[in-house]
Amino acid sequence: MISPPSREYVQATSAALLVTGLYLMHVATSGWYGAAVVGLSCWVMLMSESILLSKVHGEMSSALESLRKKQELEVQDLLYYLRQSKLGDSPWSSVDAAKNHIEKLGLPAIITDPGGMCLAVNQALTDTLGYGEDFVGQLCHTCPIPDLYGKYVQGIQRNLMSGDSFMHSRMVMLDISGNEHVGTIALIFLTDKRTAVGIWLPDDLGILTKV
């Protein structure tokens, strides 16, 4: 692609045409030759400035578009940072905040809805009991041993009716292979008093296993 001549070259050409036109207007028998050359000089200059203006406009538009995209990314990053900060400040305020928190917790944890359906598990629970992302959407009543589950649920209801949002209980949990694991489960109910986070503390992973 051939690049257009520089602005200085066009200005010099226009000036030369202007001088030539003025000269012809004075020495030629017919002044229209000179007028035509002067007009050509003006036309060359106007076309040059028009091309330059279009080029500047295009570059400015491109620069403004790049700046707009950069600002959009910066705003998105800021909103993400503020959202993550809010989730971190109030880990038990919502399901999203709880999910974000248990991923960083390092302890086996699960989130359940009011009906006992699994909403989320973290990697520590998968490592301990084997329940992974495929367990999300399933009922959690298969995790505790059946003999204790009924009393466990009744105890939760009593504590909730008393206004407690934090509670714990000794529990025997079954891993994905059906093996029993004795430990303690801590329950934290979110602000809706319906969704709960269960943090599993198995005895065999404790600092002191025998006292």
Q: Taking all residues of the chain, what is their mean pLDDT, rounded to a whole number?
A: 79
Arithmetic mean of pLDDT, 31-60: 67
Q: What are the backbone dihedrals phi and psi of residue 201, each rounded to the nearest 5 degrees, phi first? A: -120, 90
- Whether pLDDT at 154 is above 50: yes
Determine contact, residues 116/140, Cβ cutoff 8 Å: yes
**Residue corresponding to tokens 């000089």:** 41
Report the topology of domain 95-205. Beta-Lactamase (3.30.450)
pTM of the predicted model as reported, rounded to 2 decimal places:
0.59
Q: How many CB atoms lie within 10 A of CB 111?
A: 23
Per-residue model confidence as pLDDT tens digits over 53-82: 777 677 787 878 887 787 777 677 666 665
Residues 6+ apart with CB under 8 A from 181: 128, 129, 172, 173, 174, 175, 202, 203, 204
Q: How far apart are CA 137 and CA 120, in angstroms?
A: 8
Residues 6+ apart with CB under 8 A from 168: 184, 185, 186, 187
Average the pLDDT over each of 8-17, 146-155, 160-169 and give the range with the smallest value: 8-17
- Give me the pLDDT at residue 1, please: 46
- Give me the pLDDT at residue 67, please: 76
- Whether pLDDT at 21 is above 90: no
Per-residue model confidence as pLDDT tens digits over 92-118: 888 888 898 898 888 999 999 988 999
Q: How far apart are CA 200 and CA 109, in angstroms?
A: 6
* 182: confidence class by pLDDT, cuts 50, 70, 90: very high
- Give me the pLDDT at residue 111, please: 95
Residue type, 8: E
142 secondary structure, DSSP code: G
**Domain boundaries, given as residue ranges, for the chain:** 7-88, 95-205
Q: How many CB atoms lie within 10 A of CB 155?
A: 14
- Give me the pLDDT at residue 206, please: 81
* 35: confidence class by pLDDT, cuts 50, 70, 90: low
